[in-house]
Amino acid sequence: MKDTLTSLEGLIIDIVASFPEGIGVNQLSRKLKGKVSKVKLIKEIKKLSDLGLLYITRDLRHKQRLLIKASEQVLQICRVFSSNNFAKFEKWEVEVISAKIANLVSCYLDWAEKLSDPYLISYLKYKIISEFSGLINKIKEV
pLDDT band at residue 140 under the 50/70/90 scheme: low
**Residue-level pLDDT at 79:** 86
**Residue-level pLDDT at 65:** 82
92 and 131 housed in the same domain: yes
Residue 46 CB: number of other CB atoms within 10 A? 12
Kindly tell me the sign of the dihedral angle through the C-alpha atoms of 59, 62, 66, 69. negative
**Residue-level pLDDT at 83:** 67
Indicate the SS3 state at residue 69.
strand
How many domains does the chain fold into? 2
User: In Å, what is the CA distance from 94 to each residue of 47, 74, 108, 138?
Assistant: 40, 31, 21, 9
User: In Å, what is the CA distance from 81 to each residue of 42, 47, 69, 75, 97?
Assistant: 27, 24, 18, 10, 15
106 and 120 housed in the same domain: yes
66 and 76 housed in the same domain: no
**Residue-level pLDDT at 139:** 65
Query: 64-114 pLDDT, tens per residue?
Result: 788 999 999 999 988 887 766 655 555 556 677 778 888 888 989 998 899
Residue 99 forms part of a structural domain: yes
Cβ–Cβ under 8 Å, residues 6 and 13: no
21 and 39 housed in the same domain: yes
56 and 90 housed in the same domain: no
131 and 107 housed in the same domain: yes
11 and 57 housed in the same domain: yes
Please tell me the pTM assigned to this model: 0.75
User: In Å, what is the CA distance from 134 to each residue of 31, 85, 89, 110, 127?
Assistant: 21, 11, 11, 21, 11
Phi, psi of 25 (to 5 degrees): -60, -45
Distance CA 134, CA 27 (A): 26
**Residue-level pLDDT at 59:** 79
Distance CA 90, CA 97 (A): 12
Residue that finishes a domain, picked among 70, 103, 125: 70
CATH of the domain at 43: 1.10.10.10
**Residue-level pLDDT at 136:** 76
19 and 33 housed in the same domain: yes
17 and 62 housed in the same domain: yes
Residue 115 sits in which domain range? 72-141
Query: 20-75 pLDDT, tens per residue?
Result: 899 999 999 999 988 999 999 999 999 999 999 999 998 788 777 889 999 999 99
